[in-house]
Chains A and B, each alone.
Chain A
């Protein structure tokens, strides 16, 4: 009797057909024990918390898994399928993904941003081109207004779908706010490379074309769709006396001048007002220009919107931060800044943002001397050029979850529409617009999640349930600490604009990727295959389907479900499947 593959039921019709002793003539495959099952395991990837948290909709787990296998190029391709700015985001994103990472409990969250940067740098070092798509070219012309991260992301994705895209940019160069991120945090070379790669796909960028000045919306009527990604370019004012004095320089203006290589005379003592990333950028830039810098922030450390690491680096570089302080006046002498009158602040009840409202402490005012004051309180969009048909609300363009404005085929995204001011959010917004424009133009219905969630160009089939730490089988994971990223020493940093963070080398990146739990995503660890008592888990036909259940025999014991380290198997009542 050789090894059998088919299920044979043996029916003896006479004693003569039987062996003389009870000897087997077939296998137990005849016995379809699948009928015993009342719970059914299902291979269905569940949502990793990092993926759910990524504003750009990156498939983080997948690129980590590919990195873990040393398949860097594929990992990078996975990354850029969703986000054409991994080099930028890997450096500047506040990485909400890491905040959700389940690894936090066993050695610290995966350094996802470092992994992203590693892949981008790897691609650059190996001169990898953005992967081409084999889609037919489409006739439709699309206009994108604004070559910031939202506009370029939208243009990139549309182009990959075969559309003809023209990007109109008000500035001299594409990049938008990304250009204002200081060199020591985001080397221009990285930005230029990623923008150039998008342009190389066939995206046309027309610079020096400001909407409302150089062209009007009605000029774009020849385009099948328009995507407004105009960004927030107008700095918020301090609204205190003396604000217009010489020596008051708004953060983005300051950064823009530095970026353009213009000389900025800051004097000796500089005050930066604000607690966001622009405030940090301004303070650290000023520090590099030789100033003695103090950041004044009206709330406490806990409320600071700037990325944590960023705050640390700022402090390391000798910038002072004064919390619970707010300016009440810019002190001037001869039309020039000489200092600030400040008030101490107490935190009151939470406001609309959920943060505690700053309340000035009566009688606590005092004065400090400064040569330059740099307010960095954030920006708002300039929406004055919009016609009434494109409705706005509280400084933002109104869109639905498909990024459609009230005037089709005009779509809008980026912070001018969403208010989310990060590059990553803008990238996600532009991608959402590209997908929406595509489905609009093709007349195809496509579901879009609400704007708080991300969208993906190439989503893997998955269950929306987000995997939490308690869902994992931690027996299979060791506690391994997160490796630190190399940095230039602070003393050296303040003398140069060279990049502060040095990223991960390959060894560290590989090890770090292997530290990923791969939450909710099968990484072919083989546990289900190995622990099945009934040989009812088989290797699947392809990488996309690494294992299959043999439901003819699976008894539904659930060992595969509980021994899956990463909750990539669902367990559902069999009754749901009996009708199918």
Chain B
């Protein structure tokens, strides 16, 4: 392997690959790329816990694995608890330098796994919980989850009656547990994401990272647009990149360029929002703006105090 050049764009990204090719993710899968970054950040001394989710399949069928690190596949709602057990066992066995990473979808995090997750982080178990959020039950064929955005199409929220409820604010829920570290990240910002995983690795206790991960079949988007979509999600403030330390200290990591782009830019690339009326788009814009302002106020309060 040649030495990477550093002149054009200085990606501070480790060269080592800890994921294998040949996984059965769909073309353009955001979750697959997210895992690649995550492991680059955490390194090979990592144990992953994967509950039922797309990654149960992506990680490879028996007797294969798409990761170079150990994987424990587990039941849908157990990532928090299994990770707790692994972390405790590593501690009692004196293996204190291994990072435990739970890797769950939005269904396994926002919905069925929330109890075990809440329990684990309330106990401040020493692990990183990652929710790769593709905003619906994609592995079962695109059913709504509590991470599905308002008005989005899924097979259980058809266009005649799209989802009526807003997306659950999972990071706020995690921050409310006062865990040492909760953050958002996404694949269009690999350096930010890797920095966050590294930061999380260096913190003892429960860390939560919420990774927006496009699903081309589920979002009805072009496979080639997966990076663009998450970039637009950040730039439109639909998915701000921020972190919350100890439930309180809010830092916005990526500020949208030139005040951001309209949410419409983000929505229009996704078939799941094709049925949206102009009024609905305006309502989404208003909600996004409100949320962003709230976040900015919290971040500024922190900055003001320092």
Contacts and interface: CB of A to CB of B under 8 A. Distances in A.
* Chain A directly contacts chain B within the complex, with at least one CB pair under 8 Å: yes
Interface of A: 1, 3-4, 7, 10, 12, 18-19, 22-33, 36-37, 68-69, 475-476, 514, 518, 523-527, 530-536, 539-542, 546, 550, 552-553, 555-559, 561-563
Contacts of B21: 28-29, 33, 534-536, 550, 552-553
B294 to A, nearest CB: 26
A28 B27 CA distance: 16
Interface in B15-50: 15, 17, 19-25, 27-30, 32-33, 36
A273 to B, nearest CB: 50
Interface stretch (B107-115, B119-127, B217-225): B217-225
B28 A10 contact: no
Interface string B63-96: 1111010010000000000000000000000000
B60 A531 contact: no
B60 A24 contact: yes
Nearest to A547: B2
Contacts, number: 147
A559 B19 contact: no
For chain B, what secondary structure do more than half of its interface residues adopt (helix, strand, loop), or is it mixed?
Answer: loop
A28 B7 CA distance: 34
Report the 8 A-B pairs with minimum CB-CB distance, sorted nearest first: A558-B224, A553-B21, A557-B27, A28-B22, A557-B28, A31-B22, A24-B65, A557-B223
B2 A22 contact: no
B304 interface: no
Contacts of B225: 562
Contacts of B19: 535
B220 to A, nearest CB: 15
Nearest to A29: B22
A533 B63 contact: no
Contacts of B29: 533, 557
A36 B4 CA distance: 29
B301 interface: no
B226 interface: yes
A33 B33 contact: no
B13 to A, nearest CB: 6
Contacts of A540: 2
B224 A24 contact: no
A27 B20 contact: yes
28 contacts: A27-B66, A28-B24, A29-B22, A36-B27, A68-B7, A475-B231, A476-B9, A523-B5, A524-B4, A524-B5, A526-B5, A530-B190, A533-B25, A533-B32, A533-B33, A534-B23, A535-B17, A535-B20, A546-B2, A550-B21, A552-B21, A556-B27, A557-B28, A558-B28, A558-B222, A558-B224, A559-B227, A562-B224
A118 to B, nearest CB: 17
Interface of B: 1-2, 4-5, 7-9, 11, 13, 15, 17, 19-25, 27-30, 32-33, 36, 60, 62-66, 68, 71, 187, 190, 216, 222-228, 231
A33 B22 contact: yes
Nearest to A561: B224
A527 B190 CA distance: 10
B29 to A, nearest CB: 5
Given A533-B28, A533-B32, A534-B21, 7 more contacts: A23-B63, A28-B65, A33-B24, A533-B30, A539-B4, A557-B29, A559-B226
B96 to A, nearest CB: 23
Contacts of B20: 4, 27-29, 535
Contacts of B9: 476, 525-527
Contacts of A555: 27
Nearest to A532: B33
Given A476-B9, A524-B5, A524-B8, A534 B32 contact: yes
Nearest to B25: A533
A98 to B, nearest CB: 22
B222 A26 contact: no
Contacts of A562: 224-225, 227-228
Given A24-B64, A531-B33, A557 B23 contact: no
Nearest to B19: A535
A249 B11 CA distance: 62
A270 B235 CA distance: 60
Contacts of A532: 33
A30 B22 contact: yes
A303 to B, nearest CB: 38
A32 B65 CA distance: 14
A559 B33 CA distance: 11
B58 to A, nearest CB: 9
A514 B9 CA distance: 10
Contacts of B11: 526, 530
Nearest to B224: A558
A570 to B, nearest CB: 13
A219 B302 CA distance: 89
A33 B29 CA distance: 13
A71 to B, nearest CB: 9
A28 B227 contact: no
A20 to B, nearest CB: 12
B13 A530 contact: yes
Contacts of A518: 8
Nearest to A12: B63
A31 B23 contact: yes
Residue of A69, A533, A550 contacting most chain B CB atoms (<10 Å): A533
